[in-house]
Amino acid sequence: MGKIIVETCEIEGLKIITPAVFGDERGYFMETYNKNDYVAAGIDYEFVQDNQSSSKKGVLRGLHFQKEFPQDKLVRVISGEVFDVAVDLREDSKTFGKWFGVVLSAENKKQFFIPKNFAHGFVVLSDNAEFAYKCTDFYHPDDEGGIKWDDPEIGIEWPMPEGMTKEELTISEKDQKWRGIKEFIKSK
C-alpha cells in the first residue's frame, strides 16, 4: 500500500509525485508521505518543519527562498487549486533562471518536490486554497530572499484565476518589492 509515481521535470531535481489513492463509496485514503516510498524514489531527505497556509482566489505568494539556510520542499494542496512555480537559482546549473510550473489541487492530489536553491511561489486559481509543505530546514526570518514574480527575464507564464487580470492579483507588499534575477546575480 502507499506506492507513489514520480515524474521528473525538464529542470533537474524537480519532481512531481502522484500518490496512490484508494477510494470507495465512503471516500478515499492515501498516504501523503511515507519515508520508505520516497527514499526508494530517490527523495531521501529529513523534513524538519511542516507549514500550511490558506489563501483566497487571486493571491500570489512568492517567489521565495532562504539565502544561507536553503530548504528542500515537498508541497501539496489540501483544498482548492494553485499553479505552483519553481525557479532554478543554482548558478552552476544549465537551467539557471528557468522556471517550471504545475497545477496542484485537492482533486489531482499531486505533490511537487523542490530542491534547495530554487525560488518558489504559487497563485491561487480556486475560490480558496489550503497549501501544505514539508521543509528540510527551519524558517529563518532574517534569511529570507525573493525574486520578482513577474520578472520578464524569467518570463513565468502565470495563469490568471478565472475572471481576473494581473492587476487584480493580491500580492503582499513584501513580495511586490523583490527585484529581478539580474539583481539577484549582482548581489552574489
Task: Give the active site residue among 38, 64, 120, 139.
Answer: 64
Instruction: Respond yes or no: is residue 120 known to be catalytic.
Output: no
> 114, 120 in Cβ contact below 8 A?
yes
Query: Does the active-site annotation cover 28?
Result: no
The Cα 182–Cα 188 span in angstroms is 10
- φ/ψ region of 27 (left if φ > 0, alpha if ψ in -120 to 50, else beta) reads left
Strands 21-24 and 170-171: unpaired
Nearest to 175 by CA among 132, 114, 120: 120
Residue whose C-alpha is closest to residue 109's, from 26, 25, 31: 31
CA distance 99 to 180: 13
Closest CA to 58 of 139, 110, 129: 129
The active-site residue out of 38, 45, 120, 133 is 133
Q: Which residues are known catalytic residues?
A: 64, 133
